[in-house]
Chains A and B, each alone.
Chain A
Amino acid sequence: MVSMTVNGASHAVDVEEGMPLLWVLRDVLNLTGTKYGCGVAACGACTVLVDGVATRSCVFPAASAAGKTITTIEGLKTGGTLHRVQQAWVDAQAPQCGYCQSGQIMAAVALLTEKPKPTDAEIDAAMTNICRCGSYAQIRTAIHAAAKA
């Protein structure tokens, strides 16, 4: 049994210690907003916040999540209202296929927590997630807009 708090709710899950957090979220807790893209920490699609830190959950073992507070894309809204980063994403019409965007948004939330007014260079350095559709310009716009919101 591994106990963790996900989006404010406590869960005890009976999984192998080595099962990556990604699959605990997706296949055990049915929180499918967090995506599988590569499984080797190379794309960022699986990014969640672990105690507030952007983490690639596909290589983060369940055992390491014990006692931690996890936030996924499903946990960003408060009372049905979009998080300002999500709202900025809508305003910038950032998603294309949308598949990478949960991870992009979570990475952006972490970036803005650390650097409330990131420069373009700081965005380049922090936002290393792949968007195969090539929505980088809209993502950059959205981050700058969220920083002002």
Chain B
Amino acid sequence: MVSRRFFIFSGIAAAGGLAIGYALMPLTTLGRARKIAGKDGATMVTAWVRIGTDNSVTVIVPHSEMGQGVHTSLPMMLAEELDADWSLVRMEQAPADKAFANAALAQGFLRGDKTIPSVLAGTADFSFRKIAEVINLQVTGGSTSVRFTGVEGMRRTGAAARAMLIKAAATSWGVPEAEVIAKQSKLSHASGKTATYGEMAAIAASFDAPADVPLKAKKDYTIVGKPIARFDIPPKVDGTAVYGLDLRLPNLSFAVVAASPVFGGTLKSVDAAPAKAMRGVKQVVKLADAVAVVADNTWRAKEALLALKPVWDDGPNATISSQSIFAAMDAALDAGKFKTDHSTGDADAVLKGAKKIIEATYCVPYLAHATMETVNCTAHFENDKLTVWGGFQDGLGARAAAAKFAGISIDDVSLHHTAMGGGFGRRGSTLNYLKHAIGVARQVQGPVQVVFTREEDMTQDNYRHASVSRMKAALDEKGKVTAWLHQFTEKFDPPEATMVNYDFANQASRYVKGLNPIPWGPWRSVDHTQMGFFIETFVDELAYAAGQDPFAFRRAHLGGAPRHKAVLELAAAMAGWETKPAQGRARGIAIRDAFGTIVAQVAEVSLNADGRVRVHQVWSAVDPGEVINPATFVAQIQGGAIYGLTAALYGEITIDKGRVVQRNFPDYEMVRMADAPQHEVRFIESGARTGGAGEPGTAPIAAAVGNALFALTGKRIRELPFKNFDLNTGNRRS
């Protein structure tokens, strides 16, 4: 077994110059990954850089860009340690580079105790899981080349490359290494000697990578922390970015697919004739649970599919509805066969003897991801080898899944990344579109682009789960929480999403699970979406019950959490919490700690005569430990809040007869420009381990808005979305 230290690999890049990779293992922080990784003892994580003889620096990033800026943030970290001239830095997404996929290069590594690469948090949880699966596959395949990256990985790779370049210069010039200065992709010495990194790259490549290299202090940063323009933006303003749906290949067919509208149903039969009679239609493809029409363009396939009347075997789920699902949740909570989530002290006993008990029940519906680009995948079988193209949050995981779906070896699958029109969890581990694409491609000559219409995308998603939460707490006469009991339905990821950072004595959290067959998927901020609403609304209720200001009440319970307290105080200061809002407006506050980033939000709202809410302004105070690219980070917090606000105001997927009712944007409304609040974001860089950017902004917003509504109207809405209520009266709309 390899010792617990890390190795850095170096070698000659294919086109000359220096190539460096760095690997990390094992993963010790994610329970699930730990479990799987435990089987073979190791999870390898690598990041790579190539320095060309032309002085270019190419950072190879094995992660997908979804607009969260990761294709720029990761290279920034590497370039920082390398002391590269940023204008010479390029990004390349793995696995386009063959050297990167070379198993022989990846043989060592090991550095314990690393957490999820922060900029990736959000995709990281399922990426890790998938990578762990790939490891298993590759271990059985005799390969050990598994790639992932990390903050530390990028940084160490950059620092190692810099050390090797310095050594190359020192050797060539006959001067001590300590006298060589590396700056802006140039090496120099007091004697007047200079060279570019590119000129020294080949010599540097002849050295072994150093076993350990010091990293820069934050005060010396020249790239990290600056609002650097993203690499992926120029092609996104002139129409040249190629998303999955934009892929055009010679001899490409287009297929539009319809799966059994009832979850778990199968295809009995379909008369292909009506479609086949239509212009441009090439074939009708039957799959076990779906039917697809293949045509010479997307619209013809779509129209011909509408002409078909597939006969489905609905299976066992055709009678379920949102009503029956919520009734089953209530019954399961009543039955009380709970799994323990976490527990400290004895909440039950304290509640039994308590004088003042507050109770409330909350619920949220299912939610679809509704990525702007509907899910899709292009696939081609040729000589028993499969090629797939598409937007995948986790390319390795998708490749492994493709092999599984196709029943072939992973070595016979190649996967090409396209730009991705939104991820939010939809393009991670839930891959029904990949499965359909492979099923269709099996029966089609040449490459085929398998497209979900918006209707298919919305009705065949993996959904943020609906759930019910029963909260109970005891307050002492000073308004301190002495017991906290949370009983809820369904629990996924991340495990800590149900925790509170308040110093409540005697906490118990329990849940019931596996209550219905609606397919689940990670949805931006995952369990924090509903837990943020449940927990932070209930805390607000406790504040009022204690006769305290909601901000003061929270602060009083954050004694043991100085970072949280500072974030909460900053948000309140930004919002002018102590000042009265304008007539007809009110403010609410909420705080969440999601994916290592703490966000406190204040929302200011008003109501129109029709009882609908207008969110005028949001103030977010954010402590992510460290900010890599502030421009990107602000946009992620704002965008995350919009995503959560859409859920709070409008988001609702309902089930009837085993089917999803909502089919397109007219019945699954989104926050648009006119609804989007002003949103000020400020950071506290506490220096704690770097947290995520994409998801933390989503978690507190529903509670912040709901709490503001209560401050305005005195009516507590305990159920989302708010559109279902006349907020002036608090009554449900009929």
Contacts and interface: CB of A to CB of B under 8 A. Distances in A.
A77 B235 CA distance: 12
Contacts of B631: 93
Interface string A6-29: 000000000010011011001110
Given A32-B246, A97-B373, A132-B370, A124 B234 contact: no
A55 interface: no
B423 interface: yes
Interface string A27-58: 11011111111111011010000000000000
Contacts of A26: 245-246, 298
Contact of A137 (B242, B370, B632, B638): B638
Contacts of B5: none
B183 interface: no
A73 interface: yes
Contacts of B419: 97-98
Contacts of B245: 26, 32, 35-36
B67 A130 contact: no
B607 interface: no
B418 to A, nearest CB: 11
Interface in A122-147: 123-125, 127-140
Contacts of A74: 238-240
A105 interface: yes
Contact of A131 (B372, B632, B666, B678): B372
B549 to A, nearest CB: 29
Contacts of A133: 67, 372, 422, 639, 642-643
A28 B297 contact: yes
Contacts of B689: none
A147 B299 CA distance: 37
A128 B673 CA distance: 6
Nearest to B671: A134
Interface string A79-114: 000100010011001111111111001000000000
B421 A72 contact: no
B369 to A, nearest CB: 8
B672 interface: yes
Given A38-B665, A135-B639, A139-B673, A97 B453 contact: no
A76 B372 CA distance: 22
Which has the most chain A C-beta neighbours within 10 Å: B238, B302, B423, B453? B238
A102 B239 CA distance: 6
Contacts, number: 182
B136 interface: no
B371 A132 contact: yes
Contacts of B500: none
B66 interface: yes
Nearest to B246: A32
B241 A98 contact: yes
B674 A97 contact: no
Chain B interface size band reads 35 or more
Given A82-B238, A93-B635, A125 B67 contact: no
Contacts of B642: 131, 133-134, 136
A76 B317 CA distance: 50
Contact of A134 (B302, B370, B639): B639
B372 A45 contact: yes
Interface string B702-720: 0000000000000000000
A20 B298 CA distance: 11
Nearest to B697: A134
Interface stretch (B117-125, B225-233, B381-389): B225-233
B422 A76 contact: no
Contacts of A100: 372
Contacts of B235: 98
A40 B674 contact: no
Contacts of A93: 227, 229-230, 233, 631-632, 635
Given A76-B238, A82-B237, A27 B676 contact: no
Interface of A is mostly: loop
B254 A86 contact: no
A75 B665 CA distance: 28
A119 to B, nearest CB: 13
A124 B420 contact: no
A96 B423 CA distance: 11
Interface in B657-712: 664-666, 670-674, 676, 678-679
A27 B635 contact: no
A23 B453 CA distance: 13
A78 to B, nearest CB: 12
B236 interface: yes
Nearest to A32: B246
B422 A31 contact: no
Given A93-B631, A133-B639, A134-B676, A105 B297 contact: no
Contact of B299 (A20, A30, A43): A20
A86 B212 CA distance: 45
Which has the most chain B C-beta neighbours within 10 Å: A23, A28, A72, A133? A133
A9 to B, nearest CB: 15
Nearest to B230: A93
A136 B374 contact: no
A34 B635 CA distance: 24
Contacts of A16: 279
A34 B639 contact: no
Contacts of A27: 254, 297-299
B233 to A, nearest CB: 5
B676 A130 contact: no
B324 to A, nearest CB: 30
Nearest to A137: B638
B672 A129 contact: yes
Which has the most chain A C-beta neighbours within 10 Å: B233, B243, B679? B233
B643 A134 contact: yes
B640 interface: yes
Interface string B611-636: 00000000000000000000110011
Contact of A89 (B67, B237, B679): B237
23 contacts: A27-B254, A27-B298, A27-B299, A28-B297, A32-B248, A37-B454, A38-B665, A86-B237, A90-B233, A90-B237, A93-B230, A95-B237, A97-B419, A97-B420, A131-B642, A132-B370, A132-B670, A133-B642, A134-B639, A134-B643, A137-B635, A137-B676, A137-B679
Given A37-B374, A98-B236, A131-B372, 4 more contacts: A73-B238, A95-B236, A99-B373, A101-B237
